[in-house]
Amino acid sequence: MRLHDKVSIVTGGGGDIGRITALRFAEEGASIMVADISEEACVKTVNMIKENGGKAEYVITDMTNPREVENLVQKTLDSYNKIDILFNNAGVGSGGEKKLPDVSMEQWKKVIDTNITGVFLGMKYAIPKMESGSSIINTASIAGIKGQKLTSAYSASKSSVIALTKAVSKEFGRQNIRVNAIAPGIIDTSMVTHWKETEKWPLLSTANSLKRIGTPEEVANAVLFLASGEASFITGETLVIDGGTLNQ
Ligand SMILES: NC(=O)c1ccc[n+]([C@@H]2O[C@H](COP(=O)([O-])OP(=O)(O)OC[C@H]3O[C@@H](n4cnc5c(N)ncnc54)[C@H](O)[C@@H]3O)[C@@H](O)[C@H]2O)c1
């Protein structure tokens, strides 16, 4: 098993990418601490892992709240005594397509607080408890590489995740704590459901080399690679998982 005896926190673990990755990690031997703002979603993930023979618990956590993130880390240590992997994945979409002057302060703050401050807080509290060989994977997006029109706050937040990942990877390389990011393209999750009803969808969903959208399982396999010892000489990188969207 590729994550035998490892302990992983999965934030946004009640969402589609988080849930499938948590399940994949558990199949490979990791004990999982699921963190999400939605208790119902946390319970669903934990039950699925347990039904599959894996080990999982949850802590309802708002990743924008420092006290709650500190509590998440402490509860993980209380339950499992260590933290080997942090999948820093909780995030929100842009909250509707708008040109920049129409983005409200409320919308801007929600996206920035969740997508970048949440990633900062996850690392801030987990890293001091991590030992040599640990791995952090932060969820960015191809929007953070190409700068996507009409979703400026989202693009800015995900671009920040990439820069933060690089910076922190340099700070903790000597301790052999690896810090990488993933940049998914369009993945079939609840985050893209609203697009499916728009007239853009046929074009949007095939705008890559593979002519289809990705699945949470395909993201989970890439995250598993970065989390595992197979990626032991990879740090500060952003792994693009987009079916070739950025190459078009
Ligand atoms: N689906 C895509 O096409 C796509 C593409 C690129 C990047 N991403 C990123 O992947 C990650 C996972 O998204 P998903 O597609 O699985 O969507 P999702 O909506 O299914 O999952 C996101 C999860 O994050 C949780 N969450 C939101 N705010 C939170 C907070 N403050 N604290 C804790 N949890 C919070 C939600 O409750 C939800 O369970 C996000 O960071 C997203 O930006 C998704």
CA of 174 to the centre of ligand 1 (A): 31
State if residue 14 touches ligand 1 by the CB under 6 angstroms criterion.
yes
Q: Output the CA torsion 48→52→53→58 (10° steps).
A: -20
**186-239 residue pLDDT tens:** 999 999 998 999 999 999 999 999 999 999 999 999 999 999 999 999 999 999
Cβ-contact 41, 163 below 8 angstroms: no
User: What's residue 38's pLDDT?
Assistant: 98
Question: For the chain, which domains are there?
Answer: 7-242 (3.40.50.720)
Answer yes or no: pTM beyond 0.75. yes
* DSSP-derived 3-state class of residue 31: strand
Is the shortest distance between the CB of 243 and ligand 1 below 6 Å? no
Task: Say how far apart CA 209 and CA 14 lie, in whole Å.
Answer: 30
Relative orientation angle of helices 66-80 and 118-126, to the nearest 10 degrees: 40
- Rounded distance, CA 165 to CA 181, Å? 6
> Cα separations (Å) of 104 from 94, 101, 113, 150, 191?
11, 8, 14, 13, 20
Ligand 1 in contact with 38 (CB < 6 A)?
yes
41 Cβ closer than 6 Å to some ligand 1 atom = yes
Say yes or no: CB of residue 155 within 6 Å of ligand 1. Answer: no
* pLDDT tens, N- to C-terminus, the chain (248 residues): 999 999 999 999 999 999 999 999 999 999 999 999 999 999 999 999 999 999 999 999 999 999 999 999 999 999 999 999 999 999 999 999 999 999 999 999 999 999 999 999 999 999 999 999 999 999 999 999 999 999 999 999 999 999 999 999 999 999 999 999 999 999 999 999 989 999 999 999 999 999 999 999 999 999 999 999 999 999 999 999 999 999 99
- Ligand 1 atom closest to the Cα of residue 113 is 31
Q: Is the dihedral of CA 184, 30, 122, 97 positive or negative?
A: positive
What is the pLDDT, as a whole number, of residue 4? 98
Residue 62 alpha carbon, nearest atom of ligand 1: 32
154 flagged as catalytic: yes
- CB of 227 closer than 8 Å to CB of 87: yes
Report CA(115)–ligand 1 centroid distance (Å). 9
Residue 198 C-alpha to ligand 1 middle, in angstroms?
A: 21
Tell me the per-residue pLDDT of 41-55, one tens digit each, with 9 for 90 and over: 999 999 999 999 999
